[in-house]
């Protein structure tokens, strides 16, 4: 291990362990994640981790949930549904494109081990990939742009689903023009008719 072990407790220790596990996941993938590598990165011992998480899957899931909870995407408030969705999708595309692609690849083995898809795995972990969208829809409802009672949850998730599909297909940030097409040709005509 590098350096001296630092005595940490409670949430400070948990945060350090989960941050180390997250870094290990991103750099090496789930298939190469070990309690020992996380302990070394966090400058602690394996038993410290084992007292908190019984196994590698529970540690990986906790690390994903921890990172997501600490890095939420804000729901923009531009004053219009189109503007809010445009800003949200551009932010998602620009700031999360690489992460979403990398994370799907890095947790594929965990999803396979859990006999689920990566999207279902995130849901099981409690990671809401569409966080922020509900606020956008609620504001649009208050402004009279949509009738929220008529919008099924699948329709409300559609902007994210379409961007996620583009990100998965191209593995690059989605161009502004493509986001405009998604909104103007598919989403807005569907929700504002």
176 and 157 belong to one structural domain: yes
- Cα maximum dimension of the chain: 64
Quote the domain boundaries for residue 33: 10-68
Q: Is residue 144 included in any domain, yes or no? A: yes
- Mean pLDDT of all residues in the chain? 87
Tell me which residue has tokens 């502004």.
Answer: 176
Give the global pTM.
Answer: 0.72
**Does position 116 have pLDDT exceeding 90, yes or no?**
no
Whole-number Å distance between alpha carbons of 144 and 13: 47
55 and 88 belong to one structural domain: no
Share of the chain above pLDDT 70, in %: 92
Give the CATH number for residue 21.
1.10.10.60
55: confidence class by pLDDT, cuts 50, 70, 90: very high
What pLDDT score was predicted for residue 1?
A: 47
Q: Is residue 142 included in any domain, yes or no? A: yes
Q: Is residue 2 included in any domain, yes or no? A: no
81 and 174 belong to one structural domain: yes
**Tokens linked to 66:** 């921890």
Q: Is residue 1 included in any domain, yes or no? A: no
Angle at 185 between CA 180 and CA 188, to 5 degrees: 85
Which one of 4-8, 127-131, 148-152, 169-173 scores highest in mean pLDDT?
Answer: 148-152
What pLDDT score was predicted for residue 102?
A: 67
139 and 92 belong to one structural domain: yes
Whole-number Å distance between alpha carbons of 97 and 46: 33
pLDDT tens sequence across 149-172: 999 999 999 998 899 888 878 878
Domain count along the chain: 2
18 and 86 belong to one structural domain: no
**Distance between first and last Cα of the chain:** 62
118 and 173 belong to one structural domain: yes
49 and 109 belong to one structural domain: no
- Exposed e or buried b per residue across 155-181, where buried means at least 16 C-beta atoms within 10 angstroms of its C-beta: ebbbbbebbbebbeeeeebbeeebbee
pLDDT tens sequence across 14-42: 999 999 999 999 889 889 999 999 999 99
17 and 112 belong to one structural domain: no
């Amino acid at each position: 291990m590098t350096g001296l072990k630092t005595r940490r407790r409670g949430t400070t220790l948990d945060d350090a362990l989960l941050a180390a596990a997250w870094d290990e996941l991103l750099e090496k993938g789930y298939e190469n994640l070990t309690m020992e590598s996380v302990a070394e990165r966090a400058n602690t011992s394996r038993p410290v981790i084992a007292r908190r998480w019984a196994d590698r899957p529970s540690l990986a899931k906790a690390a994903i949930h921890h990172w997501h909870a600490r890095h939420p995407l804000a729901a923009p408030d531009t004053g219009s549904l189109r503007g809010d969705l445009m800003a949200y999708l551009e932010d998602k595309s620009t700031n999360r494109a690489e992460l979403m692609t990398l994370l799907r690849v890095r947790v594929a083995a965990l999803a396979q081990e859990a006999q689920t898809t990566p999207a279902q795995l995130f849901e099981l972990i409690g990671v809401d990939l569409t966080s922020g969208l509900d606020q956008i829809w609620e504001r649009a409802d208050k402004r009279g742009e949509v009738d929220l009672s008529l919008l099924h949850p699948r329709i409300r998730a559609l902007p994210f689903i379409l961007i996620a599909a583009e990100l998965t297909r191209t593995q690059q940030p989605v161009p502004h023009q493509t986001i405009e097409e998604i909104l103007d040709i598919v989403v807005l005509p569907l929700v504002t008719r």
